[in-house]
A = this chain, B = another copy of it.
Amino acid sequence: MAHDILVVTEADLRGAVTLDLTAVDVVEKAFAALATGSVVMPPILSMAIPEANGEVDVKTAYIPGFDGFAIKVSPGFFDNPALGLPSLSGLMILFSARTGLVEALFLDNGYLTDIRTAAAGAVAARHMAPEEVTTAGVLGTGVQARLQIKAARLVRPFSRVLVWGRDPVKAADYATDLAADLGIEVRAVDDPAKLVAESQLVVTTTPAREPILSADWLHPGLHITAMGSDQGEKNEIDPRALVAADAYICDRLSQCEALGELRSAIAAGLWTGSMPAELGAVVSGEVVARKKPSDVTICDLTGTGAQDTAIATHARAVALASSIGTGISA
């Protein structure tokens, strides 16, 4: 029995699915559902292809209350740049959660992942950062360094951005680009300690394997979102900071223990208290992360299949509303 499948390319998605409050809200809804425990999120399927210096990951999650569920396939082939191709590619497939039929294919090459990752940063900032943020700081200069700041500004309209990167040229380019893009002051700084001191909201977006943000730099009224660590060997935040903060929150506890900042704090023998709460519990109001303006809060984001299901559902709605994509009767 033939039904229509919507096929949407990266170019069309970039034109239609933007980092806006609607995207943030749909990702927030996914986190709230994660906290109820009724989400089904199997472990990641991962396959290495050593001959091509490649790997492929498959993620999925079913969220009650969402019409569909996504399966995301993310190949990373690290010899591609020598062939003039990007290392990362892949697609998301949206299935009906009622019938299992394919509803949409998003040939996005990771674009929807970029959006849902940044949107999670906005959810963290909305529920954990102080009400007043005048300066936001970012450690890192890549795609997420840009998107995370844009996302955070949707919920905390700060007027100044400070950026630090290991490569000062990239930091300067970042400052030029973002200043033009946001129309506010964006300044590259040499000293990450100074960046943290002057910011109320800091996002770390690097693949660092040794901490780049010291616990000594924490100050009253600071919120940190750490989104760089998503593998067992990564670590951006001084493990002492997790203990020193008034609240440390995970996107998904089972992932942060293995892949996030929490892993390093446990390995260092520093995390000895009860297990931290998840972002979904903060979203739903079950847990209050920030109890007063002077609290120090940290949110650890490793990335979840629930976000993929949320953004794929959103992308389909946007694509239908804006009549993009190709319908295939199958």
Interface centre among A44, A64, A71 (most CB of B within 10 A): A71
Q: Which of A26-34, A49-57, A162-170 contacts B (4 or more CB under 8 A)?
A: A49-57
**B76 touching A100, Cβ below 8 Å:** yes
Confirm or deny: A226 has a beta carbon within 8 angstroms of a beta carbon on chain B.
no
Expressed in whole angstroms, the minimum distance between the Cβ of A203 and any Cβ of chain B is 29
Across the interface, do A95 and B56 meet the contact criterion of CB distance under 8 Å? yes
**A73 on the interface (CB 8 Å rule)?**
yes
| Residues B93 and A73 in contact, CB atoms below 8 Å apart | yes
- Asked whether A86 and B1 contact (CB < 8 A) given A45-B45, A107-B328, the answer is yes
Give Cα distance in the complex from A60 to B232, angstroms.
24
What number of A residues sit within 8 Å (CB to CB) of B? 53
Q: Which 3 interchain pairs have the tightest Cβ spacing? A: A75-B100, A45-B45, A107-B330
Report 15 cross-chain contacts, Cβ distance below 8 Å, ordered by A residue: A7-B105, A9-B330, A40-B47, A47-B62, A47-B69, A54-B97, A54-B99, A58-B60, A71-B73, A85-B101, A89-B99, A89-B100, A89-B101, A89-B102, A90-B102
- Give the Cβ gap from A322 to chain B, nearest Cβ, in Å: 18
Give the copy number: 2
Tell me, yes or no, whether A159 is within 8 Å of chain B by CB: no
Q: B100 touching A54 by the CB < 8 A rule?
A: yes
Beta-carbon contact of B47 and A45 below 8 Å? no
A297-330 interface (Cβ within 8 A of B): 326, 328-330
Asked if B99 and A52 sit within 8 Å, CB to CB, the answer is: yes
**Known A71-B73, A75-B95: A60·B45 in contact at CB below 8 Å:** yes
Query: A68-122: which residues lie under 8 A (CB-CB) from chain B?
Result: 69, 71, 73, 75-77, 80, 83-86, 89-91, 93, 95, 97-102, 105, 107, 109
